[in-house]
Amino acid sequence: MTSFLLTTDEAAADAGGFDEILLWSGSSPRTTFIGPLDQHLSSFGPVRQENVDFARIALGVFAADRSVRRQGGGSDWNAREIDLTIEVGVPAAWTAQADQLSTAIGFLTGDRWTFRFMQAAPNPIDALPLKEPTPDRTVLLSGGADSAAGALIAALDLAPGATLQLVSHFSAPSISPFQRDLVRRIRALAPKRVIIHRRIALNRHSKRLDGTMFKREPSSRSRSLLFLALGLAAAERSGGPLFIPENGFASLNPPLGPERRGALSTHTTHPRFLTDLQELLASVGAHGLIENPFQTLTKGEMFSQVAERIGAAAASDYLSASNSCAHTDARFQGAPPGASCGVCFGCLVRRASFHAGGLADATDYLATDPGDRYADFVQQKSIVQAMFDFVADDPKPYVVMKMSLPESYPAGQALDLCRRGVAELRGFLS
């Protein structure tokens, strides 16, 4: 068991009793976190306290997740026990839901979490209203192909003069240029809409408050929880839902084999997680409306929708400007920042989706480098053989029965979606 305290008070940060101390304070140079966003989310304007609390919880989970090394691999990777105490504005409300929160976050990361809550100091300054229009729709924009497709379709669905708020979070600097470029392209493809791009850089420092180094866990299964919390805080101003564009096949996260938990490193858009999270947030009084408009579609079907809206050539150009790669460390092998490996799960599903949609893929992949300069890196990251095994047969009903679907999601619908997703991959690999 590793115990953490996330505090917003510099004096409390010097107290003992915890294995690790995380200080989030915009006014202290000792803060544990990198980025201009403070612990009150002041740059978001007035935000419901419960949503500020949820952002603190998500940041604490993310930082703790990155600071405790996993043991083993395969089906044994989820053996960690983490005790997280967080200073929030309404501790009683969160304490009443602590068990439900532990269950939801445990489903997300595969770990055993214990949550405790303490009273945080109030914000001494009232947040000022933002001098910008209230958004008609708020969409997460990660820089990936799914979010790119969803953001563009959302913009095209809005009437001229309407306002679209795009929320981006990045902890790796190589991703930010993709996000900015996609926003530029959306403005060109959907003119006469007001596009607000809220970019948030927020990450944990490598060093503790005493100057020693945090342990570093390379996986980041909880990073998207922080993205979700920040998106909900931004959407709270309008009261409308937060749209999280993700193809339904990836959301279901079918395992590549019996020894694997899932093909992807996150369950953030899994139907069960979203259902449980929305119920939890409603219970504490936070704004928690979340919609995935592509829950029933494969990635290839999403790509086809983009092509139907703007034409095949424009869709190819636009979607190729996104980044779906799971690995941000290729730059250490001499590759350009933001390079795509072409052989991780995200890249392979992306390539299969271009193929399924009949679109040209203009992405530069390290795996198809003419000079074969990155062969060692590509071989290290490749899951191509596992993917061949994965698509050899259609998914069986027992795979769906293990997905912990909510009652509102028919198992037959999930099975059909998985089979369509596998068919897209098989068509590309063959």
- CATH number of the domain at 137-207+218-291, out of 3.40.50, 2.20.25, 3.40.1130, 1.20.120? 3.40.50
Q: How many CA atoms lie within 13 A of 119 on its CB side?
A: 3
CB 340 within 8 A of CB 143: no
> What is the model's pLDDT at position 263?
47
pLDDT beyond 60 at 214: yes
Nearest one of 319, 293, 324, 299 to 421, comparing CA atoms: 299
Q: Which two tokens stand for residue 268?
A: 């953030």
Mean pLDDT for the stretch of residues 87-96: 98
For the chain, give every domain's residue range: 2-119, 137-207+218-291, 311-429
- Tens digits of residue pLDDT in 284-336: 999 999 999 999 999 999 999 999 999 999 999 999 999 999 887 887 888 88
- Tens digits of residue pLDDT in 35-91: 999 999 999 999 999 999 999 999 999 999 999 998 865 545 656 999 999 999 999
Mean pLDDT for the chain overall: 93
In this prediction, residue 218 has a pLDDT band, given cuts at 50, 70 and 90, of: confident
Alpha-carbon distance of 84 to 2, in angstroms, equals: 8
Mean pLDDT for the stretch of residues 246-255: 93
Neighbours of 71 (CB within 10 A): 10
Find all residues with CB under 8 Å of 336, minimum gap 6, and list them. Answer: none
- Tens digits of residue pLDDT in 154-186: 999 999 999 999 999 987 777 899 999 999 999
Full DSSP string of 53-82 = HHHHHHHHHHHHHHHS---S-GGGS---EE
Q: By CB neighbour count within 10 A (0-12 exposed, 13-18 middle, 19+ buried), where does 89 fall?
A: buried
- Tens digits of residue pLDDT in 125-151: 888 999 999 999 999 999 999 999 999
> What is the model's pLDDT at position 291?
98
